[in-house]
């Protein structure tokens, strides 16, 4: 994908430099009752003489301020219009300008920063070239956290990896306890930790019953940071105050990346959640989960968490093919580690995977064989450190909406193309 620099009052950086994860789009993870796609702005129009016809392309856009500090990342539909064709006005939050210039090709290799207005990292962050292909267990995994139990949570049932799980049927309705049990019967033996994102749909209680039955641990989440007290009380009731089954509790998911919360709001929510959980008897890790781009821009999200929790999706880098998925993840983790105040802090990849259906994104091609190759590459990188890896996702999420912005692949990330029995 051609890299360009687009000025939209808030300058927008489009595209990725060859071979480097500049700005990686992350899953627009739909959640709770609000399961329609997140509202998107109208199309961005760019005049470009390299195009002979008007061309629409989904692009990952990093908004930066006048000082080139990243403030937010999102995926937009960009319309490239030939110079001979009069451009139409796009509806944008700010008044657009028409300045378009090539991104310097000799800039330092970069992983582009993003997210909310706070002290941002440099928009071009040095990507450690020596980290390519480095095994994920090349770094210390201990974490200096507020509680001793937060230092080294581990998988149960002897399984090597965790996996993300959705409590929604394809029609958007909540799965019943029996349907959750049927799902766990298929996945429990392969994954020690099952990651949930919220407390709606009675998912904590139904997953707790299934996890107790099949021997798993749960990675729970407070998705709505505007309702933390209710979320914690629902969580405590759902696990019947049996906190030993809980591996981790997350606060939000990609909120800074998506503009749903500022860095300060996320850290405040983390503090409130941790305090309430401690009062409820939970002494394990409490973490903010965001994209690697947001965390590179704001490593304090990790510094304040009991360990660093980050979503990394190689598929959204058009320069990374399935066989490079593992090195993409490990090089990204290495780059994050270099930004942390404690370089020995544990880093857990809380989402990564590959779709088996959808449209191609440059070298990132979906497909069953491609998914197998990508997952093998990722797992190989984490052979000796598998408790720091959560794959995305257990089953196809048919309740989501296919969109061009996510290459029509949003529904098809299930391991091995697997559907939940209730969606078959």
Q: How confident is the model at residue 40 (pLDDT cuts 50, 70, 90)?
A: very low
Query: What pLDDT, on a 0 to 100 scale, did the predictor assign at position 173?
Result: 98
Query: Is 358 domain-assigned?
Result: yes
Residue 141 to residue 344: CA distance in whole angstroms = 7
Which token pair is 317? 């880098």
H/E element holding 246? strand 246-251
Query: Is 34 domain-assigned?
Result: no
Which token pair is 365? 């091609």
Instruction: Find the CATH number of the domain harbouring 231.
Output: 3.20.20.80
Query: Is 419 domain-assigned?
Result: yes
Query: What pLDDT, on a 0 to 100 scale, did the predictor assign at position 220?
Result: 98
Contact 150, 307 (CB under 8 A): yes
Is pLDDT at 29 greater than 70 in this prediction? no
Number of Cβ within a 10 Å radius of residue 295:
33
Which token pair is 170? 């394809």
Q: Range with the lowest mean pLDDT among 7-21, 179-193, 310-324, 399-413? A: 7-21
pLDDT (average), residues 385-403: 96
Average predicted confidence (pLDDT) for the chain: 76
Is pLDDT at 129 greater than 60 in this prediction? no
Three-state SS at 408: coil
Known catalytic residues are 351
Is pLDDT at 110 greater than 50 in this prediction? no
For residue 189, which of 164, 220, 158 has the smallest C-alpha distance? 158
Query: Is 47 domain-assigned?
Result: no
Residue 207 to residue 183: CA distance in whole angstroms = 10
Share of the chain above pLDDT 90, in %: 62
Query: How distant is the alpha carbon of residue 310 from its chain centre?
Result: 7
Domain, as residue range, for 301: 130-423
Alpha-helical runs (H) found in 239-384? 255-258, 263-280, 292-297, 300-303, 325-337, 368-381
pLDDT (average), residues 20-29: 40
Contact 408, 359 (CB under 8 A): yes
Residue 113 to residue 64: CA distance in whole angstroms = 9
Instruction: Indicate the number of domains in the chain.
Output: 1
Which token pair is 83? 């110079």
pLDDT (average), residues 356-369: 98
Residue 359 to residue 375: CA distance in whole angstroms = 18
Query: Is 272 domain-assigned?
Result: yes
What are the pLDDT digits (tens) for 132-189?
333 443 333 333 333 333 333 343 333 468 999 999 999 999 999 999 999 999 999 9
Query: Is 69 domain-assigned?
Result: no
């Amino acid at each position: 994908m051609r890299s360009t620099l687009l000025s939209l009052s808030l300058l927008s950086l489009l595209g990725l430099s060859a071979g480097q994860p500049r700005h990686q789009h992350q899953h627009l993870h739909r959640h709770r009752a609000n399961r329609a796609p997140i509202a998107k702005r109208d199309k961005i129009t760019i005049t470009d003489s390299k195009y002979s016809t008007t061309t629409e392309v989904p692009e990952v856009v990093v908004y930066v301020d006048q000082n080139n500090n990243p403030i937010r990342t999102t995926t937009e539909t960009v319309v490239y219009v030939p110079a001979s064709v009069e451009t139409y006005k796009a509806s944008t939050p700010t008044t657009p300008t028409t300045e378009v210039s090539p991104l310097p090709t000799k800039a330092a290799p970069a992983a582009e920063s993003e997210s909310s207005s706070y002290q941002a990292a440099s928009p071009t962050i040095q990507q450690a070239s020596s980290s390519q292909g480095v095994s994920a267990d090349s770094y210390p995994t201990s974490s200096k956290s507020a509680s001793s139990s937060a230092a080294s949570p581990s998988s149960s049932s002897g399984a090597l990896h965790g996996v993300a799980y959705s409590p929604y049927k394809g029609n958007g309705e909540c799965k019943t306890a029996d349907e959750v049990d049927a799902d766990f019967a298929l996945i429990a033996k392969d994954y020690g930790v099952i990651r949930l994102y919220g407390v709606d749909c009675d998912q904590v209680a139904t997953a707790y019953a299934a996890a107790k039955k099949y021997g798993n641990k749960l990675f729970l989440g407070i998705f709505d940071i505007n309702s933390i007290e209710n979320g914690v009380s629902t969580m405590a009731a759902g696990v019947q105050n049996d906190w030993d089954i809980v591996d981790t509790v997350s606060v939000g998911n990609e909120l800074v990346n998506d503009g749903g919360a500022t860095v300060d709001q996320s850290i405040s929510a983390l503090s409130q959640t941790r305090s309430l959980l401690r009062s409820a008897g939970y002494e394990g890790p409490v973490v903010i989960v965001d994209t690697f781009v947001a965390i590179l821009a704001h490593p304090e999200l990790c510094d304040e968490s009991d360990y660093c929790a980050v979503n990394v999706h190689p598929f959204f880098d058009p320069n990374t093919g399935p066989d490079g998925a593992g090195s993409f993840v490990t090089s990204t983790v290495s780059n994050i580690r270099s930004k942390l105040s404690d370089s020995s802090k544990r880093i857990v990849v809380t989402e990564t995977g590959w779709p088996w259906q959808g449209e191609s994104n440059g070298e990132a091609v979906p497909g069953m064989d491609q998914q197998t190759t990508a997952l093998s590459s990722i797992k190989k990188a984490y052979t000796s450190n598998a408790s720091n890896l959560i794959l995305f996702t257990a089953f196809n999420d048919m309740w989501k909406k296919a969109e061009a912005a996510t290459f029509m692949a949003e529904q098809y990330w299930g391991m091995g193309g697997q559907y939940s029995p209730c969606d078959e």
